[in-house]
Amino acid sequence: MADMIEDQLPADNAVTADRAVEQLRQELIEEISRLKRCSTRGVRALALFMVVSIFAWRGADFLPSSDSVTALLGKPPSARLISSVLLLYTFSAIILSLSRMAAGVEHRSSFSHVGFLTAFFLFYYFGGSLEENYWAVCGSGITILGVESYRIWSFCTELISKKTEQLSYITRTGRAPLEE
């Protein structure tokens, strides 16, 4: 009886190990797929910003007149103040993105920048100075979202490379890769 149990243990351990390796393999495939989807988030945010910029360029015909908003909310800030805040925001966003890149932080979204930049278009529009400041917001947006897009793509590409190496190791050897 004891001999039968000892014969079954190595076989059971091998089956369990094979299942664990197969599960790890499947998890790696799913993670690579997720990272590939994630790597395009920056480009999608940039595309969304370009759509917003086109609407701003066309004069935001769908928005209420700046006079009616001014009557409701009060006098908007001056164009000089809005420009100062835009400049501060642009440098802060770029520094934040570069520090995330240097630290290797996984922060997958840059869509919040699209919202902030849209707010600058709106501030200039309701302040009556969108035409003079359109290119400042557009240039800031392209710069910020370009850096963010590169950061997200770079981070995901590096992880995809590591995960692909691990998957290749599993395929070659049939064993789980050693932990780093």
Res 174 pLDDT > 60: yes
Query: Do 145 and 113 form a contact (C-beta atoms < 8 A)?
Result: yes
Per-residue pLDDT of 124-153, as tens digits, reads 988 888 899 999 999 999 999 999 999 999
Cα 19 to Cα 28: distance, rounded to the nearest angstrom: 14
CA distance 43 to 144: 12
The whole-angstrom separation of Cα 168 and Cα 85 is 49
Average pLDDT over residues 70-83: 86
What's the chain's Rg over C-alpha atoms? 26
Q: In this predicted model, what pLDDT tens digit does every residue of 20-58 receive, in sequence order?
A: 888 888 998 899 999 999 888 999 999 999 999 999 988
Residue 77, both tokens: 């800030």
Confidence category of residue 10, pLDDT binned at 50, 70, 90:
low
pTM greater than the 0.75 cutoff: yes
> Which of 155, 166, 170 minimizes the C-alpha distance to 36?
155
Q: What's the sign of the alpha-carbon dihedral 101, 107, 108, 114? A: negative
Those residues with Cβ within 8 angstroms of residue 70's Cβ, 6 or more apart along the chain or in another chain: 76, 126
Q: Give dist(CA 162, CA 169) in Å, integer.
A: 11
The three-class DSSP label of residue 177 is coil
